[in-house]
Amino acid sequence: MELKWDAPFLLLLLSLCFLSSSRCFDLDPRDQDSPLRFRSPVADPGLRLATWSGCNCTNWTGVSCGNQTGRVVSMNLANMNFLKTLDLSHNSFGGVVPDDTMELRQLRELVPNGNRELGGVLPSWIGNFSSNLKKLELGSNSFHGEMPDSLFHLKSLKHLDLGDNCLSGNIHEFHQSLEFLNLSLNRLYGTLPCFADLTRSLTVLTLADNSLVGRIPTCIASLQVLAHLNLSFNHLSYGISCWFLAKSHIGCV
């Protein structure tokens, strides 16, 4: 099952606090819809969300309401090991990716892109917390530092977007079957690898607007299914021509 959450609910979810009050307050109507929309498609064999009914939020398992306002102020939904998709894109979230995320072992898609205040160093566990992760979109945020080694070895990963951040360091070989790779608009340097393990899978490679140097290796032309290649605005010398890439059915920018 895949879930896509709306922004109001996620703002509550990310608080991840303990219940604070046992007093009874009517749930503000503004906070009633999002949790109920979340609950409706969820398979809940433990009946943890069965209490999410009525307007008294103090009876809702894992939900805490403000003493005076009746507004939901925190939610604790730990052990959500059924979650497959977490889409936090294009909100105003800030800080760092919480370590609690690594408990989502069944996650297939993690998409917190487009949150300019979200950043810090990419956590070392980001590439190995879920052996099912296929899509990781961290673009248009404010991450800095080097990419953790785990990202280069996550076998299940197909789609990786780290574009438009402040990442630095070298680009290493990726040891999985990536189909989409966007590392543009960062501060990456060094020379281009051959992407040898992506020969039969990579269709989109975007490395524009970095500080890459050296000659473009001829092995790039060995990427058999590559349809789009963007290496613009680097410091590369074209030992391999766009004409040759075009002969290999690669769109060159």
The owner of tokens 């205040």 is: 117
Helix H, strand E, coil C: the string for 186-253 is CEEEECCCCCHHHCCCCCEEECCCCEEEEECCHHHHHCCCCCEEECCCCEEECCCCHHHHHHCCCEEC
How many of the other CB atoms lie within 10 Å of CB of 134? 17
Give the mean model confidence (pLDDT) for residues 122-136: 93
**Contact (CB, 8 A) for 172 and 192:** no
Beta strands in the chain (DSSP E): 63-65, 72-75, 85-87, 94-95, 109-111, 117-121, 135-137, 142-145, 159-161, 166-170, 180-182, 187-190, 204-206, 211-215, 228-230, 235-237, 251-252
Please tell me the predicted confidence (pLDDT) of residue 236.
Answer: 92
Res 179 pLDDT > 90: yes
Res 24 pLDDT > 90: no
Q: Mind listing the pLDDT tens digit for each residue in 132-168?
A: 999 999 999 999 999 999 999 999 999 999 999 999 9
Go through 163-184 and write b for each residue having 16 or more CB atoms within 10 A of its CB, e for each that does not. bbbebeeebeebebebbbbbbb
Give me the residues paired with residue 87 across strands.
111
* pTM: predicted TM-score of the whole model, two decimal places: 0.73
Res 197 pLDDT > 60: yes
Give the mean model confidence (pLDDT) for residues 35-50: 62
Q: Which fold has domain 77-247?
A: 3.80.10
Res 175 pLDDT > 80: yes
Distance from C-alpha of 149 to C-alpha of 153, rounded to nearest angstrom: 7
Per the model's pLDDT, the better-predicted residue between 20 and 13 turns out to be: 13
Please tell me the predicted confidence (pLDDT) of residue 161.
Answer: 98
70, 72, 78, 83 alpha-carbon torsion, rounded to 10°? 130
Distance from C-alpha of 140 to C-alpha of 90, rounded to nearest angstrom: 9
**Of 84, 137, 140, nearest to 116 (Cα)?**
140
Q: What is the distance between the terminal CA atoms of the chain, rounded to a whole angstrom?
A: 38
